[in-house]
C-alpha cells in the first residue's frame, strides 16, 4: 500500500465489514427469530474481530503516516487525519477484547429484551455487570486526562468532556427547570385526544406520508417496527428507520418516525462517492441528533407543520379527530409535564431525562456506583428532578436500549443535539425566505436543501464546533434553545414575560 487510492480501497473494505455487522444488528432487532440469538452473537463477534484486524493492519498504519506527510488537498488531508485518529484508537484494542465486547453486547441485548418483557432488572443485571466491567477497561485502554467518562464521550462527541457537560447541564438546571415550574403553575391543556384506538396499519401509512414529505427516499430505505426506534445505514443508498406503534397512543409513532426520519435524511445526504471515508461519515452524534431534533421539534411540533398536515391526519382517523381543531391538537402535542419515558417526553423535560442518565453513567464508569445500585439510584433521581415515583423497572431503568448496546457516553448527545438544532433552525430562518410559511404550505424542500448544503455533504471535514461556528458565526450556545422554548411555550401556556 503506497498511494491515496490504496487508502481509499482499504477504507472501503473496513466499511464493507462494519456495514455487514450493521445488517446483522438490524435483522436482530427487526426480524430475527428468538432461537438464533446465540449464533447471531457469534457471527457478529467473528466479523467484528475481522474488521478490527483490517482496521489495525500495520501496513495500513504505515500508509496513513506516510500520506499524512505528503502534500494533499484539504479534503484528502482531513480524511487522512481522521483515519489516523481512528487507527490510533483501534490499535489500543486487542482483537480478543473487541470480540469479547461484541459478544457481550449481543448477549446483553438479548438479556435486556427478556428483562424488559418480564419487567425485571435482575434478568439484565448480570450481563450489564459484565459489560460495565469491559467499558471500564475500555476507558483505561483509550486513556483520559481527568475523568474515565471522557474516554466514552469522545467516541460519540469528539473533544467533549465531563467538565464541558457539567457546565451545560448546570444551564439546564438554572434556566430550564425554573421555566418548567412556571409552566406547571399555568392552566394545563388536555392530551386525551391522542389516547384513543388508532389502527396500526393506518398509523404506519400516515407516518410514511410524513417521511416522504420530509424528503426521505424510500428507494434508498424502508420503515419497520422495533421495540426501540432506531436508524441504521449500510451506505447513503440504504438507510433504514424503525418506529414504535402503540394503538392507544398516537404520539409514539409520529414523533418516533419523524425523529428517525431526520437521522435518515442526514445519512442519505452524505456523498456516496465518499463511502468508507471520513468525508462520507457523519460528523458526531450531537450533530446527528441535531438533524433528528430539528425535524421532530422545530418542524414537527410546530403549528406551521400541522396547519398543513392536520387535515390529512383527520381524514385517516376521522372518528377520533373529526371534532378536534388544529389549535387543540397543537396544544395537545406540546404539553409539558413530567413523565417516565424519555422517548415520549416533551421537548423541555426531555433534558431532565438525559441529565439523569448522564449523572448515572459518569458515576458508573468511575466506580462510584455499581450495577446493582442502578434501580434505586434511577428512581431517586426521577423523584428529585421530575417529582414522580417510578412504578416499575420497565418504566425506569430498563426503558432504554443503549446500555445493552454498550453505548455509554451516548445520552448527552441527545441534549447537545437539541441545542444545536435550535441554533441551526434559528439560522435557517434568517437565510431561507419565509421558511415558516413554506413549512405551512407543505414545502419542506428548502430546509432539506439548506441542511444538505450546510451540514450533510461535509461529513467529517470539520469538527462539530467548527461547523457550528461556520454556519451560525458562534459555537454552541444554550441561549438559542432557551429563547426558542420560552417564546413557543409562553404563547402556548399564556405566560407573562
Active-site annotation, residues? 260
Residue 373, CB-side half-sphere exposure with 13 Å CA sphere: 12
Q: Which residues contact 482 (CB under 8 A, 6 or more apart)?
A: 171, 175, 176, 179
Joined together, the cell numbers standing for residue 217 give 427516499
Neighbours of 325 (CB within 10 A): 10
Decide: residue 155, CB within 10 A, 0-12 exposed, 13-18 middle, 19+ buried.
middle
Residues in a beta bridge with 239: 233
Decide: residue 311, CB within 10 A, 0-12 exposed, 13-18 middle, 19+ buried.
exposed
* Pairing, β 238-243 against β 231-235: antiparallel
Amino acid at each position: 500500500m503506497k498511494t491515496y487510492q490504496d487508502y481509499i480501497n482499504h477504507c472501503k473494505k473496513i466499511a464493507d465489514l462494519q456495514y455487514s455487522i450493521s445488517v446483522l444488528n438490524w435483522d436482530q432487532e427487526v426480524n430475527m427469530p428468538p432461537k438464533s440469538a446465540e449464533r447471531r452473537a457469534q457471527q457478529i463477534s467473528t466479523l467484528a474481530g475481522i474488521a478490527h484486524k483490517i482496521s489495525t493492519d500495520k501496513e495500513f498504519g504505515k500508509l496513513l503516516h506516510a500520506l499524512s506527510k505528503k502534500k494533499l488537498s484539504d479534503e484528502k488531508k482531513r480524511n487522512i487525519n481522521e483515519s489516523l485518529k481512528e487507527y490510533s484508537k483501534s490499535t489500543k484494542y486487542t482483537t480478543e477484547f473487541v470480540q469479547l465486547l461484541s459478544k457481550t453486547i449481543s448477549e446483553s441485548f438479548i438479556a435486556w429484551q427478556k428483562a424488559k418483557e418480564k419487567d425485571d432488572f435482575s434478568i439484565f443485571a448480570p450481563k450489564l455487570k459484565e459489560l460495565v466491567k469491559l467499558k471500564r477497561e475500555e476507558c483505561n485502554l483509550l486513556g483520559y486526562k481527568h475523568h474515565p467518562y471522557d474516554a466514552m464521550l469522545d467516541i460519540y462527541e469528539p473533544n467533549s468532556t465531563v467538565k464541558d457537560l457539567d457546565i451545560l447541564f448546570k444551564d439546564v438546571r438554572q434556566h430550564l427547570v425554573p421555566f418548567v415550574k412556571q409552566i406547571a403553575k399555568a392552566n394545563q391543556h388536555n392530551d386525551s385526544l391522542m389516547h384513543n384506538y388508532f389502527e396500526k396499519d393506518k398509523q404506519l401509512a400516515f407516518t410514511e406520508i410524513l417521511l416522504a414529505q420530509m424528503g426521505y427516499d424510500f428507494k434508498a430505505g424502508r420503515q419497520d417496527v422495533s421495540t426501540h426506534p432506531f436508524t441504521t445505514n449500510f451506505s447513503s443508498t440504504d438507510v433504514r428507520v424503525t418506529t414504535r406503534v402503540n394503538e392507544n397512543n398516537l404520539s409514539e409513532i409520529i414523533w418516533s418516525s419523524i425523529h428517525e426520519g431526520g437521522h435518515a435524511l442526514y445519512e442519505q445526504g452524505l456523498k456516496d462517492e465518499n463511502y468508507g471515508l471520513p468525508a462520507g461519515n457523519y460528523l458526531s452524534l450531537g450533530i446527528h441528533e441535531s438533524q433528528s431534533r430539528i425535524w421532530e421539534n422545530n418542524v414537527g411540533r410546530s403549528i406551521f407543520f400541522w396547519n398543513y398536515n392536520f387535515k390529512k391526519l383527520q381524514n385517516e382517523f376521522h372518528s377520533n379527530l373529526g371534532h378536534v381543531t388544529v389549535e387543540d391538537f397543537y396544544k395537545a402535542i406540546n404539553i409539558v409535564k413530567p413523565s417516565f419515558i424519555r422517548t415520549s417526553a416533551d421537548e423541555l423535560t426531555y433534558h431532565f431525562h438525559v441529565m439523569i442518565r448522564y449523572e448515572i453513567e459518569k458515576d458508573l464508569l468511575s466506580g462510584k456506583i455499581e450495577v446493582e445500585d442502578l434501580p434505586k439510584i434511577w428512581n431517586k433521581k426521577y423523584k428529585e428532578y421530575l417529582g414522580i415515583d417510578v412504578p416499575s423497572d420497565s418504566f425506569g431503568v430498563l426503558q432504554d436500549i443503549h446500555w445493552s448496546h454498550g453505548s455509554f457516553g451516548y445520552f448527552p448527545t441527545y441534549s447537545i443535539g437539541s441545542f444545536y438544532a435550535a441554533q441551526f433552525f434559528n439560522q435557517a430562518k434568517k437565510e431561507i425566505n419565509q421558511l415558516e410559511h413554506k413549512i405551512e404550505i407543505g414545502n419542506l424542500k428548502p430546509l432539506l436543501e439548506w441542511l444538505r448544503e450546510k451540514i450533510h455533504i461535509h461529513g467529517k471535514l470539520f469538527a462539530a464546533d467548527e461547523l457550528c461556528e461556520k454556519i451560525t458565526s458562534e459555537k454552541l450556545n444554550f441561549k438559542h434553545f432557551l429563547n426558542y422554548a420560552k417564546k413557543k411555550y409562553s404563547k402556548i401556556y399564556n405566560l407573562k414575560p
